[in-house]
Structure 1
Amino acid sequence: MQMTCLRCTLRFGNRKKGEAAFCVEAWLICLWDSPNCTMPINIYYSSITATSSLEKHQTRIFNILDGKGIKYRLVDLAQDSKLKDEMRSKIGNPDAKIPQIFNGDQYCGGYEAFEQAVECEMIEKFLKLDSAQQQMQQK
């Protein structure tokens, strides 16, 4: 099974379910297939960006979530073209653009909605984090 580092998107080769590994930057990869996964937040993004504004939007999301201690898993559309169709299917919009944020399979929104939630100081509500998830995120 392939897994990806949360921070640098370095791909790890065949790992057994629930087996952890560290990338060269020593960031723990997400055990997204584990029943004990504490990272319900998935961000669809691209490691290859066509515009500087897209890169800035993605980086802003990562920085805010990192600053709040909210864990997330990155889903890199540049790694597999089928992921874009998966993302758009989940949203129900064939023209949806990245970045897009989900809590599990629940759609939270894109960059503009995220930014509005930040301005209103309602990021946890935007991410659909209940109090139990918030406590797990802080660990």
Structure 2
Amino acid sequence: MVIKVFVATVAGSTAIKKKQQEVLGFLEANRIDFEQRDIACNDDNRKWMRDNVPGEKKPENGIPLPPQIFNEEQYCGDFESFFDAKEGNEIYVFFGLAPPKSAKSIEISAEETEKPAENQEVITNAEEEKQVEAEEEAATAEEEGGEADEEQVEEEEGEEEGEEES
């Protein structure tokens, strides 16, 4: 599927030129395949564009101004529709394309699948170390002939429970 952008390479209006540049620049920057079709120098392109822009999208004078955007034969919209879709983060819907899977999202997915096991081991090892330390402290306190301070033991147990919850 190729996006077709109908433009006028010989446009008298700077506003039209800017709109065309914005659409084409966006497509290039996002590496979306497109064809630029000139309506100023090619009567067939002009006729095809005018015939395929839906009636409700044509201005009052009946002549749609460039840029007009199509996905193959399917009409996507004009610059205003493009701009609204871009601002609403719905640009791939506008073009009728599936959003690309970015390399970043693929990396994150791979990391997420690996991380829980690694993190679980780290958490488990940390919990085990704390538990061993608490048991050693209790044993040391008993060997010294006294009992461990009840408040200190309760505090340590409370800390362990709080860490397990997080």
> What TM-score, normalized to structure 2?
0.53
2:88 to 94, 110, 120: 120
Larger RCO (CA within 8 A; separation ≥ 6): 1
Structure 1 residue 69 and structure 2 residue 31: aligned? yes
Give secondary structure in 2 for the equivalent of 1:78.
Answer: coil
Question: Equivalent residue of 1:70, what SS?
Answer: coil
Aligned to 2:68: 100
Pair 1:55-2:17 in alignment: yes
Q: Give the deviation of 1:70 after TM superposition.
A: 0.8
Count of matched residue positions in the alignment of Structure 1 and Structure 2 = 95
Q: In structure 2, how many angstroms separate the alpha carbons of the residues matched to 1:130 and 1:118?
A: 15
* RMSD after superposition: 1.6
Q: CA deviation at 1:92?
A: 3.2
**Aligned-residue offset at 1:51:** 0.8
Secondary structure of the corresponding residue to residue 24 of structure 2 = helix
Paired-residue identity, %? 27
Residue pairs, 1:4-43, within 5 angstroms:
40-43=2-5
Aligned to 1:102, the other structure's residue is in SS state strand
Q: Which amino acid aligns with 1:120?
A: G
**What's the CA shift for 1:82?**
3.0
Residue 71 of structure 1 aligns with an amino acid whose one-letter code is D
Which of the residues 58, 72, 89 maps onto 2:51?
A: 89
Q: 3-state DSSP class of the match of 1:42?
A: strand
Greater strand content: 1
Query: What CA distance in whole angstroms lies between the structure 2 residues aligned with 1:47 and 1:95?
Result: 17
- For 1:109, what is the secondary structure of its paired residue? strand
Is there any run of 5+ residues in structure 1 with no aligned partner, and where? 1-38
Aligned partners of 2:98 and 2:72: how far apart in 1? 13
Bigger-Rg structure (1/2): 2
Q: What runs of 5+ residues in structure 2 fail to find an aligned partner?
A: 56-61, 102-166
